[in-house]
Chains A and B, each alone.
Chain A
Amino acid sequence: LTRNTSIYIAGGEYSMPNPTRAQLVEIAECVLGRERAAALSERLTERARHLSLVASADLPGTDEPGFGLAGLTPGGDDRDH
């Protein structure tokens, strides 16, 4: 895999709700290189757990009230509330 193009293929391949730690390590090696992937080893275990928890959560339906677009754009204006 090359860093700039094929990673999108890997992205598609691994974009599953609940990647394993081994899959995360493989992605990290592709994106960041072997040395940095090793440096992140402990954090990737933690990350796999984060993804697993979020994957297991119920999601709001499209007809439920949510955050809307609030917070999804950079910036923030100077309005009063």
Chain B
Amino acid sequence: MTVTTDAVDQYITGLSLGRAASEARAGRLTAADLRAACLQRIQDRDGELRAWAAVDTGGAQAAPPGPLNGVPIGIKDIVHVAGLRTRAGSRLYDVLPDRDAPAVARLRRAGAVILGKTACTEFATNDPAPTVNPWDASRTPGGSSPGSAVAVATGMCFGTLDTQTAGDVLRPAAYNGIVGFKPTYEHVSREGILGVAWSLDTLGVQARCVDDAVLLFHYLCAAPWRRSHEYSHKDPPRLGVLRDPLFDPDDTEMIRQPDRVAHELANAGAVIHEIRAAESLEVAHAAHRIITFAECASLHAEIYSRAAAEIGHKFRELIELGMLTFASDYIRAQRVRARFARLLREQFQRFDAVLVPAVRDVAPERATTGDSTLQIPWTLSGFPALSLPTGLGRDRLPLSVQLVAAPGADTGLLETASWCEAVLGLPQERNIATTPR
């Protein structure tokens, strides 16, 4: 049997990040093999999918020193990478950084190769990017990190570094059938990013499985971690299933995922408790909007005064709503936030993770970037949250569930998510990275 170059590339780009690194470490693959396979995948598919803002085709071929052994990753185009232009999805912003953001530098020191900048919505807000959802071109790939989600889902790279202000990591991950992880607020340095709202912006990652998110998180913040096989025998977790009027009506497959998943996990030994949020999620959502608008208007006042008519209309609305926000309302929203975070932290500390819907429905039409309502409470409170793929729905579109934990419990959340992923399985159908075109 002849093994074609295409088949080898297909095999390589279908590997997990952890497996690719270990194959390179063992000498069965080289950093050049990994890079070439990803570049070939980009050449084959990115004309159609538009996941990349810029690809570093001239990068070094040799494996950089470090345990990731030259695994190629993507960086959202609002995070600075030395020598690659940051354009933030806008023709009004163009900066050539002379140094990496600290988070990027950490991944580089761990041996990752920065393959390029992934496409984002304009200034990481809500005007749709040109990126196409690989599952259904008529649907949104999400926002504000759609390029990253599509690049990971289709095997153009092995993982990405992203930011979340509302639902910008978890939502595109959910719409594209991959894992999105947002750590506790400020667990990963925010230096070197073009912010949206500084008291909310959090760096996170997208990857094809939980273990890959664990690896990236480990190298991003030097968190204590264990490989999945080291904790696969841990006791089944204690899980909360959160009930809240914000999830009503429960009329979509996505909204019903926590119940479906909880049933399956309970059969595997997980202890499940239904809980009601100690504070209204709807009020938390309102506080988040007020804070976002005010901070975004403050950060982007200069570009608004210079080019208001040239920016996307949703970005413009965001700034204008911020200009109409009184200081007293902003401070009140921050105080509401403090109370919300305290009450829910006390409640969530009793569980290894709390299950909530990741999004209200599967990816909607392309005119929007989708609905961030169900990710917002956890970004507001600074709690770690992860979207875990759970298979495909009736329309053959990805389904997900969201796992949330108390602040600081990032490692425990990742361990629990890994246990859940092992129970739920990794159905081949949910991963289109290995799908030939």
List the interface of chain A (C-beta within 8 A of B).
Answer: 11, 14-15, 17, 24, 27-28, 31-32, 36, 39-40, 43, 46-47, 49-51, 53-60, 64-67, 70-81
Q: Is A66 a contact of B335 with CB atoms below 8 Å? A: yes
Q: Is A56 a contact of B283 with CB atoms below 8 Å? A: yes
Interface of A is mostly: loop
The CA of A40 and the CA of B223, in the complex, are separated in Å by 44
Q: Taking CB as reference atom, which chain A residue is nearest B314?
A: A43
Q: Is B283 a contact of A71 with CB atoms below 8 Å? A: no
Q: Taking CB as reference atom, which chain A residue is nearest B329?
A: A51
* Given A54-B286, A71-B200, A60-B339 contact (CB < 8 Å): yes
The CA of A4 and the CA of B229, in the complex, are separated in Å by 63
Q: Is B189 a contact of A11 with CB atoms below 8 Å? A: no
B201 contact set on A, CB distance < 8 A: 76
How many residues of chain B have a CB within 8 Å of chain A? Answer: 46
Q: 8 Å CB contacts to A: which residues of B318-377? A: 320-321, 323-324, 326, 328-329, 332-339, 341-342
Q: Is B317 a contact of A43 with CB atoms below 8 Å? A: yes
Q: Is A27 a contact of B198 with CB atoms below 8 Å? A: no
A28 contact set on B, CB distance < 8 A: 320, 324
Select one of A14, A57, A75 contacting B283, CB under 8 A: A57
The CA of A20 and the CA of B191, in the complex, are separated in Å by 39
Q: Taking CB as reference atom, which chain B residue is nearest A55?
A: B332
Select one of A14, A54, A59, A71 contacting B186, CB under 8 A: A71
Q: Is B338 a contact of A67 with CB atoms below 8 Å? A: yes
The CA of A56 and the CA of B119, in the complex, are separated in Å by 39
The CA of A14 and the CA of B324, in the complex, are separated in Å by 11
Q: 8 Å CB contacts to A: which residues of B139-195? A: 184-187, 189-191, 195
Is residue B96 contacting chain A, with contact meaning CB distance below 8 A?
A: no
Q: Is B326 a contact of A15 with CB atoms below 8 Å? A: yes
* Given A53-B286, A76-B198, A67-B337 contact (CB < 8 Å): yes
Q: Taking CB as reference atom, which chain A residue is nearest B293?
A: A47
Q: Is B339 a contact of A58 with CB atoms below 8 Å? A: yes
* Given A43-B317, A53-B282, A71-B199, A31-B382 contact (CB < 8 Å): no
B290 contact set on A, CB distance < 8 A: 50-51, 54
A50 contact set on B, CB distance < 8 A: 286-287, 289-290
| 27 examples of A-B residue contacts, CB within 8 angstroms | A15-B326, A15-B329, A24-B324, A27-B324, A28-B320, A31-B323, A39-B313, A43-B321, A47-B324, A50-B286, A50-B290, A53-B282, A57-B287, A59-B336, A60-B335, A60-B338, A60-B342, A64-B339, A66-B339, A66-B341, A67-B334, A67-B337, A71-B185, A71-B186, A76-B190, A76-B191, A81-B221
A70 contact set on B, CB distance < 8 A: 185-186, 199
Q: Is B191 a contact of A64 with CB atoms below 8 Å? A: no
A71 contact set on B, CB distance < 8 A: 185-186, 198-200, 382
The CA of A60 and the CA of B320, in the complex, are separated in Å by 29
Q: Is A81 a contact of B187 with CB atoms below 8 Å? A: yes
* Given A24-B324, A32-B320, A74-B195, A54-B336 contact (CB < 8 Å): yes
The CA of A80 and the CA of B183, in the complex, are separated in Å by 13
* Given A28-B324, A54-B286, A67-B341, A77-B336 contact (CB < 8 Å): no
Is residue B280 contacting chain A, with contact meaning CB distance below 8 A?
A: yes
A55 contact set on B, CB distance < 8 A: 332
Q: Taking CB as reference atom, which chain B residue is nearest A36?
A: B320
Q: Taking CB as reference atom, which chain B residue is nearest A62?
A: B335
